[in-house]
Amino acid sequence: MSDGQGNIEIPAERDGPALDRLAGRAKVVLAAAYPGWRGELAAIGQGFEAAVFRIDLPPFGTVAIKAPWRRFPGGGYGTHIDCRALLRQEQAMAGWAADCGLPAATPHALHESDAQDLLISAYVDGDDLPPDPIGFGALLRTLHEAPPPDIVPVVHGRSGDLRTAIAARILERLDRVEALTGERLLEDRSWLDADALRTALPEGPRALLHMDFRPANLRCRDGRITAVLDWSNAAIGDPAFELARMHEAGTLTEAVLDGYGDRDWAAQVPPAALAAYHLDAALMFAIVFRIGEPDPARADRMTARARTLLAGLRAALGAQGSS
């Protein structure tokens, strides 16, 4: 969001007063659902779609409550997002992870109402130490090798097909970056459309992808991961899609790859698909660092990176078409 002079502003729907109003709505729902409960909500995190609070709630004990700012955020955060669907997905996937023996915050209850939706999960405490990178990579590999749950993630869209959804998302993100920067990343778009992008993406293996696997979404104790949080970006598809995103985020270090056990993962992916996977992430970060977590220098770097990836994608598609 801009003030008209190029300065990024905190979106009004996520400022301090908005957080207080959200907490107030959550308290009304909790008081109705759990007669006799009285307490204050301690804010412990917030993101694009929701804020998270910690409370003591009998009969569950200490819990984390995820509360969307709005059911349909709209605007720069995605016109097609339904936060109720994301809460249902998180409940299902966290339960699946716990059943698979993966570290997860056990979901307790989901409350849906016109006033406010809430997901109540076990609160998992942690310390300030980062995860051990070897264990971090090994857990990601375990996640990718587990039989995926029998659900269609929200990110797959109405078609239920991840390739179709990624193709549409890349085009939407490209439009968004160009609107935010006032620059054209592509002078000639005649070669880039949804069909071309979908063709670039192989069927690939089907694995559960967290798609935001980073220390901020983990709880750790002495470097050991005790819970994986926030499944709102999850998808079922090619693990290389997640690895490409982590590469663009700077979290796919050599030590993490050692833990994952596959340093040559990129060489196994068709060049056009690899470029598309990286492009999706680069465009996303170019947006995030402008309207979500303002960092102009990183936003500019990711925009330049997206421009380079577009050139690489065009070359790879040309080579793929002529082979």
Using the 3D structure, point to which of 122, 148, 182 is the last residue of a domain. 122
* Assigned domain for 1 exists: no
CA distance 299 to 306: 10
CATH of the domain at 230: 3.90.1200.10
- Asked if residue 207 and residue 264 are part of one domain, the reply reads yes
Q: How far is CA 53 from CA 20, 25, 43, 186, 318, in A?
A: 11, 12, 4, 43, 50
Among 246, 89, 86, 213, residue whose Cα is nearest residue 142: 213
* Assigned domain for 2 exists: no
Which residues does residue 246 pair with via DSSP β-bridges, in sequence order?
none
* Assigned domain for 5 exists: no
| DSSP string across 232-251 | TT-EEE-HHHHHHHHHHHT-
- Asked if residue 64 and residue 152 are part of one domain, the reply reads no
* Assigned domain for 271 exists: yes
- Asked if residue 309 and residue 167 are part of one domain, the reply reads yes
pTM of the model: 0.90
CA distance 272 to 149: 28
What's the domain range around 69? 12-122
* Assigned domain for 4 exists: no
pLDDT digits (tens, 9 = 90+) for 118-140: 999 999 999 989 999 999 999 99
- Asked if residue 203 and residue 118 are part of one domain, the reply reads no
- Asked if residue 313 and residue 171 are part of one domain, the reply reads yes
Which residues does residue 43 pair with via DSSP β-bridges, in sequence order?
53
- Asked if residue 221 and residue 186 are part of one domain, the reply reads yes
pLDDT at 5: 30
Among 271, 284, 248, residue whose Cα is nearest residue 200: 271
Q: pLDDT-derived band of residue 293, with 50, 70 and 90 as boundaries?
A: confident
CATH of the domain at 71: 3.30.200.20
Classify residue 271 as left (phi > 0), alpha (psi -120 to 50) or beta.
alpha
- Asked if residue 153 and residue 49 are part of one domain, the reply reads no
Higher pLDDT, 4 or 96: 96
Q: pLDDT-derived band of residue 112, with 50, 70 and 90 as boundaries?
A: very high
* Assigned domain for 127 exists: no
pLDDT at 318: 86
- Asked if residue 138 and residue 78 are part of one domain, the reply reads no
CA distance 135 to 223: 8
Residue 46 sits at φ, ψ, to 5 deg, of -155, 150
The CA-based dihedral angle spanning residues 179, 85, 212, 118, taken in that order and rounded to the nearest 10 degrees: 110
- Asked if residue 251 and residue 183 are part of one domain, the reply reads yes
Q: Is 55 helix (H, G, I), strand (E, B) or coil?
A: strand
Among 12, 20, 11, 27, residue whose Cα is nearest residue 65: 27
CA distance 255 to 245: 17
Q: pLDDT-derived band of residue 6, with 50, 70 and 90 as boundaries?
A: very low
Type of residue found at 132:
D
pLDDT at 73: 82
Task: Reply yes or no: is the peptide bond before residue 103 cis, omega within 30 of 0.
Answer: no
- Asked if residue 171 and residue 91 are part of one domain, the reply reads no
pLDDT digits (tens, 9 = 90+) for 19-77: 999 999 999 999 999 999 988 999 999 888 899 999 999 999 999 999 999 999 865 54
pLDDT at 205: 74
- Asked if residue 281 and residue 217 are part of one domain, the reply reads yes
Residue 322, pLDDT > 60, answer no
Using the 3D structure, point to which of 122, 144, 170 is the last residue of a domain. 122
Domain count for the chain, please give it.
Answer: 2
pLDDT at 33: 96
